[in-house]
Amino acid sequence: MIDAGRLRHELSLQKRIKNRTESGEQVYTWKTYSPVRAEVKNVNGDERIFGLQIIPESTHAVITHYRDDVDVKDRFIFGTRRLNVILPVDPTGERRELVCFCREE
C-alpha cells in the first residue's frame, strides 16, 4: 500500500487526441484528462548523440495509486515539465500502485 505522504507532487495526466484539419490532415493534440497526486523520482540521467547534437535525456518514475487508464500514448505535466509515459507497470500485480517510467521531453 502507498503511504499517502509520498504522493506530494501534483501532476496532470494528458491523453493524445487524434483530430483532422479542414483539409483532412491528421494532427495530434493533448487534452488534460485528470489531476494526479504522485511521487516523481529521477531514476536516470543520460545524454544521447543524435547526428552532431548531444541530446539530454532524463528518465523519471511517476508513482501513484493504481489506475488502468494510463498507457504509452499518455503524458504527465509536472510544473513546466512534460513526462511521456514509456512503460506503466503494476509492480506487485495487486492493483494498489502504478509506476510509470517516463521520458522528459
C-alpha of 61 from chain center: 8
Residue ranges per domain, the chain? 4-19+27-104
pTM of the entire predicted model: 0.82
Q: What letter represents residue 5's amino acid? A: G
pLDDT band for 105, please (50, 70, 90 cuts): confident
- Cβ-based neighbour number of residue 11 at 10 Å: 21
The residue-averaged pLDDT of 11-21 equals 94
DSSP single-letter state for residue 7: -
Q: Are 91 and 97 in contact (CB under 8 A)?
A: yes
- In the predicted model, what is the mean pLDDT of the chain? 88
Whether the per-residue pLDDT at 52 is higher than 80: the answer is no
Q: Domain 4-19+27-104: give its CATH code.
A: 2.40.10.270
